[in-house]
Amino acid sequence: MLTGLSLLAGQVLTENLPVAGYQVVKVYPHDPNAFTQGLQFVDGVLYEGTGLNGRSSIRKVKLETGEVLQKRDVPAQHFGEGITVWKTDLIELTWQSQVALVYDRETFQQRRTFNYSGEGWGLTHDGVNLIMSDGTDYLRFLDPATFEVRRRARVMVGDTRCAPIEVLAPPPRCTPPIITVTIWSPTGTVPVTGEGGRPPPTKIWERVPPQIFSVSDAPEAFSRLSA
């Protein structure tokens, strides 16, 4: 099951930030065995990355029916994590292997790999940089060609560090780009929105309880279906 969320403007302030609510606007069928780690909706197709060692994969999925249109399994030594579509590439992080896998977006043939330090969690881009989370309260802004770190940004709410940052939603087409991150919690996910990845965030969403999603203990991936 995949759930579409619509944000509602809130009037409550937390740390002087507006709190937005949500409502379920659409439910789509989804493979219950897919441990979803990354989602991106591009050109009418849902790209999905799934996790767990020996069960990780990348997929193209028909949103309306949940049909898996194309799939490539990830080598069993890797726990697949966040994905993003960058031009003609589909880029996938791995959790603790310290390697990013780069595929041809259309054929899913592997093109190359990149190495990085630490863990890999969420991945998106702003049209210029790849933006990666690593389970801490920092975002890494990476050169898409070399995966070199261009800069880092710390995500804070007031004096409180936002960690672990798990999921990154693709920015909508606006200037400056707005990035939505989610903070992992066993009781649900707390999305936080900020401009350009630069702290402080500009909005906090209400906690999304895990029972809304069926793919894991807490929602692991968000995608803007209007992108």
Task: Tell me the CATH number at 146.
Answer: 2.130.10.10
Strand order of the β-sheet with 130-133 is: 123-125, 130-133, 138-142, 149-154
Q: Per mean pLDDT, which of 37-51, 93-107, 179-193, 211-225 is the most reliable?
A: 93-107
113-167: pLDDT as tens digits? 999 999 999 898 888 889 888 888 788 889 999 999 998 887 766 666 666 666 5
* Domain-located, residue 78: yes
133 touches 82 (CB < 8 A): yes
- How large is the average pLDDT for residues 158-181? 57
Which residue has better confidence, 41 or 15?
41
DSSP 163-208: -SEEEEEPPPS-SS-EEEEEE--TT-BEEEEEETTPSSPSEEEPPB
Which pLDDT value is given to residue 56? 95
Which pLDDT value is given to residue 10? 34
Query: How do beta strands 203-205 and 17-28 pair?
Result: parallel
Confidence of residue 7 (pLDDT cuts 50, 70, 90): very low
* Domain-located, residue 129: yes
28 touches 36 (CB < 8 A): no
207 touches 190 (CB < 8 A): yes
* Domain-located, residue 139: yes
* Domain-located, residue 227: no
